[in-house]
Chains A and B, each alone.
Chain A
Amino acid sequence: MSQTDDGTDVRLADGIDHQVAMVMDLNKCIGCQTCTIACKTNWTDGGGREYMYWNNVETKPGSGYPRDWEEMGGGWDEDGEERTPGELQDKEAYGRAWEFNHEQVMYEGSDEPLRPMEQPDWGPNFDEDEGAGEYPNSYYFYLPRICNHCTHPSCVEACPRSALYKREEDGIVLVDQDRCRGYRYCVEGCPYKKVYYNAMKKTSEKCIFCYPRIEGEGPEGEVLPPSCAEDCPPQLRLVGYLDDEEGPIHKLVNEHEVAVRLHPEYRTEPNVYYIPPFAPPQHSESGESIESERIPRNYLEELFGPDVHEALNTIERERAKVERGEESEVMELLTTTDTTDQYRLEVFD
């Protein structure tokens, strides 16, 4: 725990100098999966990783990826002391990597449309855009997910070999591939199901927060934000350090408290935060707007915990300020197009 100048508490894991974090504004996500592909082509393109999406975007309400991951346990008990048992899901729950008829269509002159070779019955975001609710007030939104690089990671605790660890310099959670013996207790233990088993390598793998990019290991030696953030067309991700008092993460999470955690009840203390979705109001049968929120608050509370109410109320107030022509730091942070504001990664070098 560290105390900032303005008195807000920033909880860092024991022995961690700083904590990288991300804020994702769900109001901007268009479900285009560009982040998914950016991550996939960078890190999980083959070699037993076909089914893996270290970054995925799922439709909520929906079953998610892997299917029904929220029902599979893991994480900590209410006191955050004891791990709760989790389940291993089979590969079908992730969805198989479909084979497409590229060869026939592209090279053999087939008139068939481009399609999977076999009839798929499940896959990542298979229930895309289905959502919930009745016409004309159906609702859904997209939820991009990566490893949360938790402050209190249950995957680290679950590994009997200490093959998972939290990096001292920035709190990134990594799997030591030399120590891992493929026991998969980490896969069971992560309640967000963001550790994956590579059956070809016989080891576990996970999101690495693109640490070579934020360390400036690229060809130009330039510090870059994670691929999922930089490649996002609507630029919904802000990246920086939780304990950087001048950074957007600290301001949105700790000062204004408009960015909330996904399933805080798992008690792993995720370091990926979300600006909750702020949907248009419901419509009457005749198509007029009525004073009723489209996305039920209780559903958002299920996802983001009770703090989501105050976060949404604050956002509403801040939006109203801007509408009246007043200044709002929250709205400026959330609408900036300046990448130096969006990504503050060299502050602790």
Chain B
Amino acid sequence: MERRPALLAALLAASLVVTTLAAPALVSARPAYEIPVADVDDGATLDTADGEEWTQAPSAGVPLSSSGAAVPGGDESTVDEVRVASARTDERLYLRVSWADPTRDTAAGDVRQFADAVAVQVPVNESARPPIAMGSTDNRVNVWYWNGLNVSQELLAGGPGTTTVLDDSDLESNATYRDGRWYVVLSRPLTDSSDDRTTFSTERDVDVAVAVWNGSSMERSGAKATSEWYYLALGPGPEGPPYETILWLVAGLGMVFTTLVTIEGIRRTRGE
């Protein structure tokens, strides 16, 4: 009979180890604010939103809210979420942003007409996190921009109102509108010799933020929906913040302690 508590304790200890290792993966697919980056060998089909290789890239839901910029309509944006998937080859980084938009706005031919648009910003110097609103003069952002007129531009910004088009960009874009949703792929070589463009190392994660404009709501400039800072999981890990493991360990120890106390209580009640 004396072996039973010891056996139970051993079983509990084993289950604790298993739970601590497996539970984070089961309960939360990835840490908050992470956009996973799939490592793809070829990349031949990543250029289009429907490319087969995109099935290998899990997407992350990114909530958006009004930018609150000091322009008319700066707090009245209409898009509240985008899904962002990312993949890389040895040479290029690809981002696929998709969002629901019941109106497909692809013209700006009238004074009151504005095109849908999307932009992602990354820090020029990826080792520091710039201010979310277009960076700052000493901490600039590199912006990849596409709009419904099929204009894609690589921009440099050092604060609101400073966006400047970078010439000779290798940015490529491809957009599809299907079933009330935009799917826009933006891609660029990982490395760039210019000081004004981000060079992506695969050694570390890189911050990224997203903005979307709904043309039919006359959104443009700072009248847009924006995300918080997320990060592209380009680095080798760790899988998530260490506190997550610690929390699971504490919870497991608690479970073991409670169980042992209960067993001891039952034994005493029985007078063993």
Of the listed residues B69, B108, B111, B160, the one surrounded by the most CB atoms of chain A closer than 10 A to its CB is B111
Tell whether, in the assembled complex, residue B221 and residue A89 are in contact, meaning their CB atoms are under 8 Å apart.
Answer: no
Chain B residues with Cβ below 8 Å from A161 are 161-163, 221
Q: Tell which of B71, B108, B109, B160 touches A185, judged by Cβ atoms closer than 8 Å.
A: B71
In A159-195, the 8 Å CB interface with B consists of 160-162, 181-185, 187-188
Q: How large is the interface on B (under 10, 10 to 19, 20 to 34, 35 or more residues)?
A: 10 to 19
Give, as a whole number of angstroms, the nearest-CB distance from B212 to chain A.
Answer: 16
Is A202 in the interface zone, CB < 8 Å from B? yes
Tell whether, in the assembled complex, residue A162 and residue B111 are in contact, meaning their CB atoms are under 8 Å apart.
Answer: no
Is B31 in the interface zone, CB < 8 Å from A? no
Give, as a whole number of angstroms, the nearest-CB distance from B121 to chain A.
Answer: 16
**Interface 1/0s, chain B 206-224, versus A by CB < 8 A?**
0000000000001011100
Chain B residues with Cβ below 8 Å from A202 are 108, 149
Is A277 in the interface zone, CB < 8 Å from B? no
Given contacts A160-B160, A160-B221, contact A90 B72 (CB under 8 A): no
Q: Tell which of A91, A160, A185, A188 touches B110, judged by Cβ atoms closer than 8 Å.
A: A91
| Majority SS at the chain B contact face | loop
Is B4 in the interface zone, CB < 8 Å from A? no
Tell whether, in the assembled complex, residue B221 and residue A197 are in contact, meaning their CB atoms are under 8 Å apart.
Answer: no
User: What is the chain B residue whose CB lies nearest that of A179?
Assistant: B164
Tell whether, in the assembled complex, residue B111 and residue A160 are in contact, meaning their CB atoms are under 8 Å apart.
Answer: no
CA distance A251 to B72 in the complex (A): 40
Q: Tell which of B112, B113, B149, B222 touches A160, judged by Cβ atoms closer than 8 Å.
A: B222
Q: Tell which of B70, B149, B161 touches A162, judged by Cβ atoms closer than 8 Å.
A: B161
Tell whether, in the assembled complex, residue A160 and residue B71 are in contact, meaning their CB atoms are under 8 Å apart.
Answer: yes
Q: Tell which of A181, A184, A185 touches B111, judged by Cβ atoms closer than 8 Å.
A: A184
Give, as a whole number of angstroms, the nearest-CB distance from B217 to chain A.
Answer: 13
Tell whether, in the assembled complex, residue B108 and residue A160 are in contact, meaning their CB atoms are under 8 Å apart.
Answer: no
Tell whether, in the assembled complex, residue A181 and residue B110 are in contact, meaning their CB atoms are under 8 Å apart.
Answer: no
Q: Tell which of B70, B71, B108, B111 touches A89, judged by Cβ atoms closer than 8 Å.
A: B111
Tell whether, in the assembled complex, residue B108 and residue A199 are in contact, meaning their CB atoms are under 8 Å apart.
Answer: yes
Q: Tell which of A88, A181, A199 touches B221, judged by Cβ atoms closer than 8 Å.
A: A181
Tell whether, in the assembled complex, residue A199 and residue B109 are in contact, meaning their CB atoms are under 8 Å apart.
Answer: yes
User: What is the chain A residue whose CB lies nearest that of B151?
Assistant: A202
CA distance A197 to B111 in the complex (A): 6
Give, as a whole number of angstroms, the nearest-CB distance from A198 to chain B.
Answer: 10
Is A264 in the interface zone, CB < 8 Å from B? no
CA distance A89 to B113 in the complex (A): 10
Q: Tell which of B71, B111, B161 touches A187, judged by Cβ atoms closer than 8 Å.
A: B111
CA distance A233 to B133 in the complex (A): 54
Chain A residues with Cβ below 8 Å from B162 are 161
Is A85 in the interface zone, CB < 8 Å from B? yes
Chain B residues with Cβ below 8 Å from A182 are 108, 220
CA distance A152 to B176 in the complex (A): 45
Q: How large is the interface on A (under 10, 10 to 19, 20 to 34, 35 or more residues)?
A: 10 to 19
Q: Tell which of B149, B160, B218 touches A88, judged by Cβ atoms closer than 8 Å.
A: B218
Tell whether, in the assembled complex, residue B112 and residue A188 are in contact, meaning their CB atoms are under 8 Å apart.
Answer: no
Give, as a whole number of angstroms, the nearest-CB distance from B150 to chain A.
Answer: 13
| Majority SS at the chain A contact face | loop
Chain A residues with Cβ below 8 Å from B221 are 160-161, 181, 183, 185
Given contacts A91-B110, A181-B163, contact A160 B218 (CB under 8 A): no
Tell whether, in the assembled complex, residue B112 and residue A89 are in contact, meaning their CB atoms are under 8 Å apart.
Answer: yes
CA distance A90 to B108 in the complex (A): 12
CA distance A91 to B160 in the complex (A): 30
User: What is the chain A residue whose CB lies nearest that of B110?
Assistant: A91
User: What is the chain B residue whose CB lies nearest that of A162?
Assistant: B161
User: What is the chain B residue whose CB lies nearest that of A86?
Assistant: B72
Of the listed residues A89, A160, A183, the one surrounded by the most CB atoms of chain B closer than 10 A to its CB is A160
**Interface 1/0s, chain A 194-238, versus B by CB < 8 A?**
000101001000000000000000000000000000000000000
CA distance A338 to B125 in the complex (A): 64
Chain A residues with Cβ below 8 Å from B112 are 88-91
Tell whether, in the assembled complex, residue B72 and residue A185 are in contact, meaning their CB atoms are under 8 Å apart.
Answer: yes
Tell whether, in the assembled complex, residue B110 and residue A199 are in contact, meaning their CB atoms are under 8 Å apart.
Answer: yes
User: What is the chain A residue whose CB lies nearest that of B160?
Assistant: A160
In B199-245, the 8 Å CB interface with A consists of 218, 220-222
Tell whether, in the assembled complex, residue B222 and residue A88 are in contact, meaning their CB atoms are under 8 Å apart.
Answer: no
Q: Tell which of A89, A91, A162, A183 touches B220, judged by Cβ atoms closer than 8 Å.
A: A183
Q: Tell which of B70, B111, B161, B163 touches A90, judged by Cβ atoms closer than 8 Å.
A: B111
**Interface 1/0s, chain B 93-117, versus A by CB < 8 A?**
0000000000000001111110000
Chain A residues with Cβ below 8 Å from B108 are 182, 199, 202
CA distance A349 to B28 in the complex (A): 73
CA distance A199 to B111 in the complex (A): 7
In A18-56, the 8 Å CB interface with B consists of none
Q: Tell which of B72, B109, B161, B222 touches A188, judged by Cβ atoms closer than 8 Å.
A: B72
Give, as a whole number of angstroms, the nearest-CB distance from A30 to chain B.
Answer: 31
CA distance A91 to B110 in the complex (A): 6
User: What is the chain B residue whose CB lies nearest that of A48?
Assistant: B109
User: What is the chain A residue whose CB lies nearest that of B220?
Assistant: A183
Of the listed residues B112, B113, B218, the one surrounded by the most CB atoms of chain A closer than 10 A to its CB is B112
CA distance A183 to B218 in the complex (A): 9
CA distance A197 to B29 in the complex (A): 48
Tell whether, in the assembled complex, residue B72 and residue A85 are in contact, meaning their CB atoms are under 8 Å apart.
Answer: yes
B interface, CB within 8 angstroms of A: 69-72, 108-113, 149, 160-163, 218, 220-222
7 A-B pairs with C-beta separation under 8 A: A88-B112, A160-B69, A160-B70, A160-B160, A161-B162, A181-B163, A185-B221
- Report, nearest first, the 5 A-B pairs whose CB atoms are least far apart: A183-B221, A199-B109, A161-B161, A90-B112, A91-B110
| Other contacts beyond A160-B222, A199-B109, A202-B108: 15, CB < 8 A | A88-B112, A90-B110, A90-B111, A90-B112, A91-B111, A160-B69, A160-B70, A160-B71, A161-B162, A181-B163, A184-B111, A185-B71, A185-B72, A185-B221, A199-B111
